[in-house]
Amino acid sequence: MKQIDDQMSQNLIKPDSIMKELIVYFSLVYLLTWLCWAPSFSIEFSHLTQTILLNLGNFMPSLLAIILVISTRKKEKVSEMISRILRIRFSVFWYLFAICLMPTLLGTAYLVYYALTGLEFNSLLLPIILPDLWPLIPLVGYFIAVQGPLGEELGWRGYALPKLFQLFNPFKSSMILGIVWAIWHFPKFFLDGTIQFELADAYGVMMALAGYTLYTILLTLMITLLFVKTNGSVWAAVLFHAMSNFSHGLVTILLDTTGAISMLALMILFTFSMAVRNKELYFKQLIV
């Protein structure tokens, strides 16, 4: 099996040290992000202040990862992070995987949803894109830059996942990171104007949180496969994350029970088949 960043295998750190770094990172991400989001729950702050701090919180996973890497004062760690960001040369197949998988799964889920309920197609983004198609490029750019991927993936995949790989196999690493990622979103289930709030309003907080956690774990397993197959490309993870968010605006079925169940069921089936086909990758510990 091809290992990610073989050049790093000679610089392994003790497991206790890696675990400590991960605990510090995840704890700081939670603390600083949630502090930034807190003013959005209070009327004492202006809308501008709330917006600035909310977006700062959205970028905290990546910002904190950059700060922690720079603080080591080790050129090889800084160059490694830069290398992961600039790693854009990989096979067309994995570009198609990153761009097309989630829209395809959501589109298929809608067909199941339509067959079961007969309800008409609903999309937030399609009226903006059609008939000219040119808005597609700035829309995807918006989803990359503003809607999470750029602000998160340098942290989740660029910093945390390679460290998790040094402690656990990719499957267990994905399970841990998926749960951490889901919990990070928790305050948004109470923040009006977010998709998490809409899910909580539609299904109740506990059910919405359970479904969202399952969703993020499945998504993490998919991104892990992409990350490994592209030799640790953060750009690939950013692209997949962006297209995942974009696809939910393109095919809007999450707030209907049948639609949400159809989507999760298809994701489970795909992820299971993906894990079976790549069991050596998922269940053999990688050196990073």
Alpha-helix runs per DSSP H in 118-160: 126-129, 136-145, 149-155
pTM score: 0.90
Q: Could you list the beta-strand ranges (E) of the chain.
A: none
Q: What is the mean pLDDT of each run of 10 residues along the chain (288 residues)?
A: 45 78 97 96 89 94 95 84 90 96 93 84 74 72 78 96 96 98 97 94 96 98 97 96 89 88 96 95 79
- The whole-number pLDDT of residue 48 equals 92
What is the C-alpha separation between 94 and 205, in angstroms, rounded? 35
SS3 state at 168: coil
Of the candidates 140, 144, 150, the one whose C-alpha atom is nearest the C-alpha of residue 65 is 150
Interior CA angle at 96 toward 151 and 225, to 5°? Answer: 65
Cβ–Cβ under 8 Å, residues 143 and 151: no
Q: How far, in Å, CA of 51 to CA of 57, rounded?
A: 10
Residue whose token pair is 């290398």? 83
The CA–CA distances, whole Å, from 87 to 13, 82, 155 equal 24, 9, 16
Q: Between vectors from CA 244 to CA 239 and to CA 249, what angle results, nearest 5°? A: 125
Asked if the peptide bond before residue 131 counts as cis, ω within 30 degrees of 0, the response is yes
Q: What is the SS3 string spanning 257-288?
A: HHHHHHHHHHHHHHHHHHHHHCHHHHHCCCCC
Q: What pLDDT is recorded for position 75?
A: 80
- Helix, strand or coil, per DSSP, at residue 154: helix
Report the amino acid identity of residue 154.
L
Instruction: Check: CB of residue 149 under 8 Å from CB of residue 238.
Output: yes
Q: Which residue has the tokens 């968010």?
A: 245
CA–CA separation, 81 and 158 (whole Å): 7
The whole-angstrom separation of Cα 81 and Cα 78 is 5
Closest CA to 155 of 243, 20, 25, 6: 25
Residue 6 has a pLDDT of 45
